[in-house]
Structure 1
């Protein structure tokens, strides 16, 4: 499935909210996580490595969420009934997010979509994209906590294509920096604008 055919994937469209962070502020955020041109290069390499492993990565991540009822809860109706169509729809966008993390330029369009992802986890827009009746809000603590599993579990996948240990580590560090930046951006709806 191409990115444009993924339901609810609105990257670069007018449906995406404008991020509350300027490009100048975004550059400072990059500096704060030590993200530079080498990281962009290693993320491109990671994208090549991960492209044919997306389903395996998602199987691992979904297995993790599914094995923890307090995380799976956010994909339920609040009464313990999983919303399987919702899980499937999010999975397709999650796979595209992996590719976007590695392949897209980190420009205004990328910045806006990172903010949009945060809105879709917050009561502002959760459930609206897929028109579901699931739990209406993901608690902020899990936004931050999920940073670890989606980082720590990626390294074995990066090591599967015969790159040197140094290249694998560089791809991993670039991924880690990007995830930290994105979680910071996803946090914007949870934080008072004057505090963000």
Structure 2
């Protein structure tokens, strides 16, 4: 599937508003999560390892969400029931997010798209991308942050499936954790006042 055929995927397009995070603050965030050149190498390796496993990964993540009523609520229609079309569209973008996480260039286009993703979790933009009338007008910040754990814990078995040395699996897993934490930190920006971010 090409990136352009993914509904609502607007990375690098004029539809994406600029992130208010400055380059200097972004550099400090990367420094704070200890994201360095070695991590970028491991993320690229993770991209190779995970590339043909994305649907299986999404099955695990969607299984986790579906097994927790408080999480699947965010994918519900106006009637409060899970919206299959909405879930399907988000799934396509979620798969692309795995690819983008592993291949991130950490440039301005990437930073701007993190801002867009953050906005799409808030009342400012949630449901608009897919034209959904949802019972959930936003995703609460507490679950955005807490979701770092299942997204990180469940990826490790997939990183280990291709027979890489244990040290390389650990390196990929650590890099993934740093990359996910960095992204969720950036996604939290639209939730809070600029003065406290």
Q: TM-score range by the shorter chain?
A: over 0.9
Contact 1:86-1:132 within 8 A present in 2 as well: yes
Counterpart in the other structure of 2:10: 10
Counterpart in the other structure of 1:65: 65
Aligned counterparts of 2:41 and 2:35: Cα–Cα separation in 1: 11
Aligned counterparts of 2:32 and 2:110: Cα–Cα separation in 1: 18
Q: Cα distance, 1:79 vs. partner?
A: 3.9
Residue deviations 1:5-44, cap 9 Å, x none? 1010000001112111011211100000100001001000
Counterpart in the other structure of 1:42: 42
Q: Cα distance, 1:78 vs. partner?
A: 5.3
Q: Which sections of structure 1, spanning at least 5 residues, go unmatched?
A: none
Aligned counterparts of 1:80 and 1:91: Cα–Cα separation in 2: 19
TM-score by length of 2: 0.98
Aligned counterparts of 1:79 and 1:10: Cα–Cα separation in 2: 28
Counterpart in the other structure of 2:140: 139
Aligned counterparts of 1:115 and 1:61: Cα–Cα separation in 2: 23
Contact 2:78-2:133 within 8 A present in 1 as well: no
Q: What SS does the corresponding residue of 2:106 show, helix, strand or coil? A: coil
Q: Cα distance, 1:82 vs. partner?
A: 1.0
Counterpart in the other structure of 2:56: 56
Q: What SS does the corresponding residue of 1:77 show, helix, strand or coil? A: coil
Contact 1:77-1:83 within 8 A present in 2 as well: yes
Q: What SS does the corresponding residue of 1:52 show, helix, strand or coil? A: coil
TM-score by length of 1: 0.98
Residue deviations 1:165-193, cap 9 Å, x none? 00000000000000000010000111101
Counting matched residue pairs gives 196
Counterpart in the other structure of 1:114: 114
**Is the counterpart of residue 184 in structure 1 residue 185 in structure 2?**
yes
Q: Which sections of structure 2, spanning at least 5 residues, go unmatched?
A: none
Q: Which runs of 4+ in 1 moved over 2 A?
A: 77-80
**Is the counterpart of residue 123 in structure 1 residue 120 in structure 2?**
no
